[in-house]
Amino acid sequence: MNAPVGLSTGAEIRIANDAAPLAVVLVNGGSARAVPGTWSATSELLTTELAPRFTGLAFAEVRYRVKTWNELDSCLADARAALDVVDRPALLAGFSMGGAVSIGVSAHPSVVGVLGLAPWIPERLSLEGLVGKRFDVLHGSWDRYLPGIPGVSAASSRRGFDRARSLGIEGTYALIERGLHGAAVRRRSGALVRLPRARAWVDGVGERLALFEGV
């Protein structure tokens, strides 16, 4: 795994294929409680699987200072700082709360589009930064919030996507049948555990990266 690079905010990124001319910036989810940022298991799995395949793309994973939707401005600042360091045309891949963070910083001049991975898109979130850019969504059909188990319903991300389409924003919405909330979780040991339908997540993201790499 590549060594982390510190950001001006105190957050970190780690980058694979750093010499590539285009970048995918992977933005993590969060929680209601303010806890220290961690590396996303889903982002790590996607990077491990896809970076060797897409050598023309740099994969930059973001670790927030604090990961919580109750301090969203802090997470937005971390994502903007990551884009400044990456400093090349970038596709934001936002998982869960990272979907809201990615949309929230999508007006950054480096951003060419957002790929929401089971994205949280609250009704109060402005989508204006996406105008003139692509917005694609992948969501597991079995994803949902359960007590003590994080999740985002596909119905809620569909409402956010439809709201974007009403603004004339181009993109696609696709369900991963029997997919859960993301592609992987992490054991206490740090090892990744692939969730059911992880291959469908990897392949679905890969299809969209192929379009981005071909721009």
Q: Taking the model in full, what pTM does it have?
A: 0.95
pLDDT for position 34: 85
Whether the pLDDT of residue 1 is over 80: the answer is: no
The pLDDT assigned to 73 comes to: 94
Q: What is the structure's pLDDT at 2? A: 80
Going by C-alpha positions, the residue among 17, 35, 34 that lies closest to residue 26 is 17
Task: Return all residues near 25 (Cβ < 8 A) that are at least 6 apart.
Answer: 13, 60, 62, 79, 82, 83, 86, 90, 91, 92, 93
List, for residues 82-115, the tens digit of each pLDDT value: 999 999 999 999 999 999 999 999 999 999 999 9
pLDDT (0 to 100) of residue 150: 77
pLDDT at 145 (0 to 100): 78
Burial-class residue 206 by CB neighbours within 10 Å (0-12, 13-18, 19+): middle
Q: What is the mean pLDDT of residues 68-78?
A: 93
Per-residue pLDDT, averaged over 32-44, amounts to 91
Q: What is the pLDDT of residues 5-36, one digit of tens each?
A: 999 999 999 999 999 999 999 999 988 888 88
pLDDT of residue 215: 63
Domains present along the chain, CATH in parentheses: 5-213 (3.40.50.1820)
* Distance (Å, whole) CA 42 – CA 182: 6
- How do residues 132-186 score in pLDDT, each as one tens digit? 999 999 999 999 877 666 799 999 999 999 999 999 999 999 999 999 999 999 9
Q: What local confidence, expressed as pLDDT, does residue 30 receive?
A: 87
